[in-house]
Amino acid sequence: MFFAKLLSRAVLLVAAITVLAPHSRAENGIFNLSEVDCLTLNMYWEARGEGEVGLRAVAHVTLNRVRSLLFPDSICDVVAQGGQNAQGGACQFSWWCDGLDDWPYDMRMWRASHTIARKVMLGRDSDPTSGALWYHADYVIPYWADDYIQTVQIGPHIFYR
């Protein structure tokens, strides 16, 4: 089931790449399109209503996790982490396991997210979370919150390292 969902998302991503982001070549090389689009989807679904700084924050947390030994070493693997056990609520990013359609419907926000994702991946953006690896919405108090140092609150998200 996990691989079927991943494959169906890959098909959507290929369509999104073709239609929405045909110019994913960086000045210093070629992006791995699947990684760019995994990051873009994560930003879009986690923070599309929070403005540029919220999108940047989610992008940086995702990349901070890739660099951390505590998490998988690719963007797509970080985004999908825990998806194998969707019924148990083990997903790191709730949108991945919510059972809803993941096709982006707001093309303006998709393009904005994609532009920010490429900038962050190129290292051309400072981390507004100060190295955070975790975050949660301000209306919940997760069991793990006291185990980490809060770095900042951006919109409705509280960030920790």
pLDDT in tens, 79-128: 999 876 545 557 899 898 888 888 899 999 999 999 999 999 999 999 99
**CATH placement of domain 30-128:** 1.10.10
pLDDT tier at 20 (50, 70, 90 boundaries)? very low
CB atoms within 10 A of CB 58: 28
State pTM to two decimals.
0.78
In 3D space, the residue among 56, 78, 36 whose CA is nearest the CA of residue 129 turns out to be: 56
Residue pair 161/151 in contact by the 8 Å Cβ criterion = yes
The CA-to-CA distance between both ends of the chain, in Å, stands at: 32
Strand order in the sheet with 134-137: 134-137, 157-160, 150-154
Which letter, b or e, does each residue of 105-129 get, where b requires 16 or more Cβ atoms within 10 Å of its Cβ? eeeebbebbbebbbebbeeebebbb
